[in-house]
Structure 1
Amino acid sequence: MVVNGVTHIELPGRFCDSLQEPEVALPCFVAGPENRLTVAAFQRLMDPDPLDSSLAFFNPFVLVGPTGSGKSHLARGICRKYHLLFGDEGVAYFTAIDFARQLQTAREEAGLEVFRDRLSNVSLLIVEDLQKLPEREFVQRELRDLIELLVSAERIVLITSQQSPSTMLQQEVGLCDRLASGLTIQLRPPSFPARQEILQMAAGSYAVSLNSQQLESIAKSVDGPAPQLLRALAKVKLDCCHDLDASQLGEPIRLKQIIAVVARYFSITQAALCSPNRRKSLVHARAVVVHLARKLTDLSYTQIGQGLGRRDHTTIMQAHRNIRQLLADDPAIQQSLDQLQRILTAP
């Protein structure tokens, strides 16, 4: 449906547990005329027709845009759709860093052929944040060959990046050329009508009641992508809470408090917790910080990442997904989280 030039790309519900993001997530991608090409391409991708040769002609698809433009929102929507159609074995989703890490592990553990075979049979390959792919020749060559194999077999390849293939000077020429041969889609910032629609949809999730004049005012004052609009809406919600009796409100929990409490709990230093060190115990402790910060504060993944040693938001999201998976299998982790939450929320 198109209203005032604004189209919705409907995205399936959260069927892949590993991809669930606990933010206020819109059930669709809201696109104004500025993202007309995105709509045309993704509507076909969301309903793949084996007789539609245009998908194969434009494959691979490269989605380009700055942080917050909706690349991951669209990529995960496509992932969930194909997961419904083809099951776990039919979909492979990676960040570029994770792809390189798993590839290297497979190589070191003599499992490279198994890794290749598994990926060669998927119906959809998604690699996010390609600009972060390590500059190792082996990694880039493997990704290039995998893309070539899948495209030749008419399997869908979707790449997201902050840079277009033609400007990725740090990447192998063959990889860039292969990506450039497909369809590069540049995500544009939402126009005023699109921003209004995003705010209208998100207001329901935030339980914020706004009239049309208020929505228009926010849409005019925030000329940015959806995350900026959602932060503005969250601020409106907080402002509404200021009318409450201050005695009913506890002191807000800060990220620094969470980091300090988690560091003491795991007998590590705060400096180590925020350092680049990827020792297993530190990775787990950081994931605990992320989980508690998302539960006890209004901080975004980007803000949490900044407080945890300037990590990017995709790394923080992955940490959150990992600990939620562990919670399902290990009751002791839930007990630890409950204990930490009691410490943080105690009067």
Structure 2
Amino acid sequence: MSGDNESLEWNRVKKQLHAELGDDVFTSWFARIDFEEFQDGTVRLSVPTQFLKQWIQKHYQNQILGFWKRECETVQNIELSVRGAVRSVAVALTPNTQSRRAAVQKIAQTAKSPPKADDVLSKYITDAMDGSVLDPRSSFGSFLESASNRTALTAVKNVVLKKDDLFNPLFIQAATGMGKTHLLQAAAASIRRNGKKALYLTAEHFMYRFVVALNSRAASTLRHVLNSIDYLVVDDIQFLHEKKARTEFSHMLNLMLDEGRQVIVASDRLPLELDFDERTRSRLSGGLVVQLGESDFGLRTDILVSQVAEIRKSYPSFDVSEDVLRYVASSVKSTIRGLGGAMNRFLAFHQLMGRVPTYAEAEETIKDLIAVEEAQPIKIAVIQRIVSRHYEIARSDMLSRRRARVVVLPRQIAMYLAKEMTPRSLPEIGRRFGNRDHTTVLHAHRKISRMLPDDPTFSRELESLKEMIRAAK
């Protein structure tokens, strides 16, 4: 594999991952992976956080390796590392070899004496409460309102202004890329401007900063902080996979709610679908649960017009025709983030070619985005047919009330796959499995999820079923 082709091969690997896993999974786990080098049969990739590294190693490393081997037979291993500050500081801040060496030595000396857990926790808490972890572009003013998001936007504003104490906790559910992070960051920023204290956390930071600090006996610091804040704002709570993290979050939630302080939470799942204990799910459901619906054509058009105006502040000659805007708005529907991806490609075209793309060039530039949008969705009936055939039971048995193990386990597997591979809600999946209650589907999903980590053979069997389902759709 030559150096000139490495980035091209990595781009092809990413396209295969995108096509295999879908837009939401790819965006969540693979969009921030960078190719570093290929040497002695090993491909080295980097990610920005330890959490992301561990998650990919646990769930996707073999899949990535398989795709790489398709591109280059000499690839034998995949190594993941966390992008650190040493290289960037040494190169960017020091102009010559001697000063670079001194900078690296200083960083190394600092690393030998890590800060105390209380200091680590306090530093992140300070950042999280002074707004330095917030994106300044995420404000209520830049959040475009439509029928699909009006209820959620109004509820968040009411909570920020404390117009209604009944909305506690406020739980926002939306698919990936629909604007829930924008809304939460806008809320945290507005709370600060109103003179109140808000602690904004992502699930990733919670697990790998808070919980690490707590394990090092920094619990007193956390209690002190919680006693001083008015709002707890937690984003992407579905990523709290570790039991310790879920337990600590439950403690924080109970403390805040019991003392009448506001909690705002966002997730891509409803409270009852989260892998928490029953009491925590009940408390998350006990305030107001609102959903950010899919964007309509008008909202997508407004977003694109707004993005063009924002880009023109830095690149005055950049523009996109109305025909192209309408094409993108009508074609890229699944996520608002996808609209930004299309606009970034048009900007790259403008920078490289010195002009804006024509309609035909715009189509070519984002054709892979459109291909993902137009991919045929997987149907529950296909899942039922494949699973029934694999386990040699009648599809009618899967939909029946039979409780024999030879029927129950395949039924639970099919429910699990329906939840994982389709956008259908739990109640809808339950109806498609003989009018069962949504809690039955939830129980099946949790049971299969618990079985997978401890049984590699079963895990491979489910991956094989997924491949058959994708091939049959």
User: Which residue pairs with 2:150 in the alignment?
Assistant: 36
What is the alpha-carbon distance in structure 1 between the residues aligned to residue 143 and residue 293 of structure 2?
12
> Does the 8 A contact of 1:140 with 1:175 survive in 2?
no
User: Which residue pairs with 1:223 in the alignment?
Assistant: 333
What is the alpha-carbon distance in structure 2 between the residues aligned to residue 166 and residue 72 of structure 1?
21
What is the alpha-carbon distance in structure 1 between the residues aligned to residue 223 and residue 354 of structure 2?
58
Question: 1:68-91, CA deviations, whole angstroms, 9 ceiling, x for partnerless residues?
Answer: 11111111111111122236xx22
Map 1:229-248 → 2, pairs under 5 A: 229-244=339-354
Is 1:144 aligned to residue 250 of structure 2? yes
Going from structure 1 to structure 2, the CA distance change for 1:123 and 1:24 (only over 3 Å counts) comes to closer
Amino acid paired to 1:172? D
Going from structure 1 to structure 2, the CA distance change for 1:141 and 1:234 (only over 3 Å counts) comes to closer
- Give the TM-score of the pair, scaled to structure 1: 0.57
User: Which residue pairs with 1:120 in the alignment?
Assistant: 227
Q: Which structure ranks higher in relative contact order (CA pairs < 8 Å, sequence separation ≥ 6)?
A: 1
Question: 1:286-330, CA deviations, whole angstroms, 9 ceiling, x for partnerless residues?
Answer: xxxxxxxxxxxxxxxxxxxxxxxxxxxxxxxxxxxxxxxxxxxxx
Shift of 1:25: 8.7
What is the alpha-carbon distance in structure 2 between the residues aligned to residue 102 and residue 242 of structure 1?
41
Shift of 1:162: 1.4
Shift of 1:179: 0.2
Going from structure 1 to structure 2, the CA distance change for 1:175 and 1:26 (only over 3 Å counts) comes to closer
Shift of 1:186: 1.4
Shift of 1:215: 2.1
Amino acid paired to 2:261? R
Amino acid paired to 2:186? G
Greater CA deviation, 198-207 or 126-135? 126-135
- Across the two proteins, how many residue pairs are aligned to each other? 221
* Partner secondary structure for residue 194 of structure 2: helix
User: Which residue pairs with 2:401 in the alignment?
Assistant: none
* Partner secondary structure for residue 144 of structure 2: strand
What is the alpha-carbon distance in structure 2 between the residues aligned to residue 243 and residue 230 of structure 1?
20
Question: 1:35-60, CA deviations, whole angstroms, 9 ceiling, x for partnerless residues?
Answer: 231132123134x14xx3x2x21210
What is the alpha-carbon distance in structure 2 between the residues aligned to residue 24 and residue 173 of structure 1?
33
Question: 1:243-267, CA deviations, whole angstroms, 9 ceiling, x for partnerless residues?
Answer: 449xxxxxxxxxxxxxxxxxxxxxx
Going from structure 1 to structure 2, the CA distance change for 1:119 and 1:221 (only over 3 Å counts) comes to same
Going from structure 1 to structure 2, the CA distance change for 1:142 and 1:236 (only over 3 Å counts) comes to closer
User: Which residue pairs with 1:45 in the alignment?
Assistant: 159
What is the alpha-carbon distance in structure 2 between the residues aligned to residue 67 and residue 97 of structure 1?
16
User: Which one of 80, 94, 118 corresponds to residue 201 of structure 2?
Assistant: 94
Amino acid paired to 1:41? A
User: Which residue pairs with 1:204 in the alignment?
Assistant: 309
Greater CA deviation, 71-80 or 226-235? 226-235
> Does the 8 A contact of 2:139 with 2:189 survive in 1?
no
The structure with more radius of gyration:
2
Question: 1:178-214, CA deviations, whole angstroms, 9 ceiling, x for partnerless residues?
Answer: 1011212211221000001001111012223234333
Going from structure 1 to structure 2, the CA distance change for 1:173 and 1:194 (only over 3 Å counts) comes to same
User: Which residue pairs with 2:276 in the alignment?
Assistant: 171
User: Which one of 323, 335, 345 corresponds to residue 213 of structure 1?
Assistant: 323
> Does the 8 A contact of 2:191 with 2:198 survive in 1?
yes
Going from structure 1 to structure 2, the CA distance change for 1:220 and 1:105 (only over 3 Å counts) comes to closer
* Partner secondary structure for residue 94 of structure 1: strand
What is the alpha-carbon distance in structure 2 between the residues aligned to residue 243 and residue 225 of structure 1?
28
Shift of 1:126: 1.1
* Partner secondary structure for residue 158 of structure 1: strand
Runs of 4+ in 1 over 6 A off after TM superposition: 23-26
Going from structure 1 to structure 2, the CA distance change for 1:115 and 1:148 (only over 3 Å counts) comes to same
Going from structure 1 to structure 2, the CA distance change for 1:108 and 1:94 (only over 3 Å counts) comes to same
Is 1:160 aligned to residue 266 of structure 2? yes
Shift of 1:24: 9.6
Map 1:53-64 → 2, pairs under 5 A: 54=164, 56-64=165-173
User: Which residue pairs with 1:77 in the alignment?
Assistant: 186
Question: 1:102-150, CA deviations, whole angstroms, 9 ceiling, x for partnerless residues?
Answer: 44334333321221121132111011111111342x5434322322332
Q: Mind listing any 5+ residue stretches in structure 2 that lack a counterpart?
A: 1-129, 313-317, 356-473
Identical-pair percentage: 22
> Does the 8 A contact of 1:222 with 1:229 survive in 2?
yes
Map 1:229-308 → 2, pairs under 5 A: 229-244=339-354
- Give the TM-score of the pair, scaled to structure 2: 0.43
User: Which one of 19, 23, 27 corresponds to residue 134 of structure 2?
Assistant: 19
* Partner secondary structure for residue 160 of structure 1: strand
What is the alpha-carbon distance in structure 1 between the residues aligned to residue 153 and residue 132 of structure 2?
26
* Partner secondary structure for residue 29 of structure 1: coil
Amino acid paired to 1:226? I
Amino acid paired to 2:325? L
Shift of 1:228: 0.8
Going from structure 1 to structure 2, the CA distance change for 1:33 and 1:111 (only over 3 Å counts) comes to same
* Partner secondary structure for residue 163 of structure 1: coil
Could you say what the CA RMSD is over the residues aligned between the two structures, in angstroms? 2.6
What is the alpha-carbon distance in structure 2 between the residues aligned to residue 65 and residue 225 of structure 1?
10
